[in-house]
């Protein structure tokens, strides 16, 4: 089958395509949305968590210990979104534990929050093997779960920590350093989104903590403006 005809077949089947630099056509199957959630918020949370716990949308379910749904205040004003669970998170079923989690707690405390005040989630709900970066396909298949979490929480501000989270939420490849210091927006409701560095990166580059403090101050200012508006 020639490329032009194949392109038309894939388009008719609802399969996304893009052309690589070498001219090859890559495809990504459009994943159906997660099941509709009930109107009752608490029931919706319970159903969504159950859906995530048995998810087999991508191959990561084959090697996980458990899913990492998210944790915190389901009515939070701030939602913290990271990249994917690591080994500690996979074992404990909670995002941002271990050294990076302790540093995130310190970051939140500096901004005037306890861990329980915010809701913390990841782009992915399962750990990629050897803590590798999530693939575009894995992010796409897991995205509906995160979208539903955001819809249920309706945060007034999203803090994207790290490159993978920022790129996944903003659909960009711009470097984190260039995304900082700007109010981005997420979704139809244009939720303010601030980008900062991942705690794991700060553990390797402690001098960058000053930049994160500036990001948190910026986020606080944006949040206060939201409340005033």
- Is residue 153 exposed (0-12), middle (13-18) or buried (19+ Cβ within 10 Å)? buried
Same domain assignment for residues 9 and 97: no
Same domain assignment for residues 156 and 118: yes
Question: Is residue 203 assigned to a domain?
Answer: yes
Same domain assignment for residues 125 and 187: yes
Same domain assignment for residues 48 and 144: yes
Tell me which residue of 81, 76, 75, 57 sits closest to 67, measured CA to CA.
Answer: 57
User: Are 162 and 107 spatial neighbours (Cβ–Cβ below 8 Å)?
Assistant: no
How far, in Å, CA of 79 to CA of 90, rounded?
A: 20
How far, in Å, CA of 48 to CA of 139, rounded?
A: 17
What residues make up the domain containing 3? 1-29
Same domain assignment for residues 134 and 175: yes
Question: Is residue 61 assigned to a domain?
Answer: yes
Report the domain count for the chain: 2
Same domain assignment for residues 4 and 46: no
Question: Is residue 34 assigned to a domain?
Answer: no
Check whether 178 has a pLDDT greater than 80.
Answer: yes
Question: Where do we find the tokens 């700060």?
Answer: 202
Question: Is residue 50 assigned to a domain?
Answer: yes
Same domain assignment for residues 14 and 86: no
Check whether 3 has a pLDDT greater than 80.
Answer: no
The CATH number of residue 213's host domain is 3.40.470.10
- Report the DSSP pairing between strands 119-122 and 157-161: unpaired
pLDDT digits (tens, 9 = 90+) for 129-171: 998 999 999 999 999 999 999 999 999 999 999 999 999 999 9
Percent of the chain with pLDDT over 90: 77
Question: Where do we find the tokens 């969504």?
Answer: 48
Residue 70 has φ and ψ, to the nearest 5°, of 135, 165
User: Are 116 and 72 spatial neighbours (Cβ–Cβ below 8 Å)?
Assistant: yes
Distances (CA, A) of 77 to 30, 137, 154, 155, 157: 31, 30, 8, 5, 6
Q: Six-digit token pair at 76?
A: 């939070």
The chain-wide mean pLDDT, for the chain, equals: 86
Same domain assignment for residues 130 and 177: yes
CA dihedral 35, 41, 42, 44 (to 10 degrees): 0
How far, in Å, CA of 79 to CA of 121, rounded?
A: 8
Tell me which residue of 210, 211, 133 sits closest to 173, measured CA to CA.
Answer: 133
Check whether 16 has a pLDDT greater than 70.
Answer: no
How far, in Å, CA of 31 to CA of 72, rounded?
A: 28
Same domain assignment for residues 11 and 47: no
Query: Which has the higher per-residue pLDDT, 226 or 218?
Result: 218
E strand or H helix at 186, and its extent? strand 184-186
Confidence grade of residue 184 (pLDDT, cut at 50, 70, 90): very high
Check whether 38 has a pLDDT greater than 80.
Answer: no
pTM score, whole prediction: 0.82
Same domain assignment for residues 95 and 167: yes
CA dihedral over 96, 100, 102, 105, signed as positive or negative: negative
Same domain assignment for residues 183 and 215: yes
Same domain assignment for residues 108 and 193: yes
User: Are 212 and 107 spatial neighbours (Cβ–Cβ below 8 Å)?
Assistant: yes
């Amino acid at each position: 089958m020639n490329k032009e005809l194949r392109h038309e077949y894939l388009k008719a089947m609802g399969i996304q395509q893009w052309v690589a630099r070498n001219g090859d056509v890559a495809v990504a199957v459009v994943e159906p949305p997660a099941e509709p959630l009930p109107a009752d918020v608490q029931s919706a949370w319970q159903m969504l968590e159950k859906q995530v716990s048995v998810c087999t949308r991508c191959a990561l379910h084959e090697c996980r210990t458990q899913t990492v749904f998210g944790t915190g205040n389901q009515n939070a004003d701030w939602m913290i979104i990271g990249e994917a669970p690591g080994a500690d998170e996979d074992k404990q079923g909670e995002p941002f534990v271990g050294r990076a989690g302790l540093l995130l707690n310190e970051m939140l405390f500096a901004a005037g929050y306890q861990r329980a005040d915010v809701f913390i989630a990841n782009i992915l709900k399962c750990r990629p093997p050897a803590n590798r970066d999530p693939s575009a396909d894995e992010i796409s298949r897991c995205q509906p779960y995160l979208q539903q979490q955001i819809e249920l929480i309706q945060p007034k501000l999203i803090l994207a920590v790290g490159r993978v989270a920022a790129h996944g939420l903003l659909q960009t490849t711009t470097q984190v350093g260039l995304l900082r210091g700007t109010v981005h927006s997420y979704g139809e409701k244009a939720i303010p989104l601030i980008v900062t560095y991942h705690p794991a990166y700060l553990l390797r580059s402690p001098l960058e903590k000053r930049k994160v403090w500036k990001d948190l101050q910026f986020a606080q200012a944006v949040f206060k403006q939201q409340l005033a508006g």
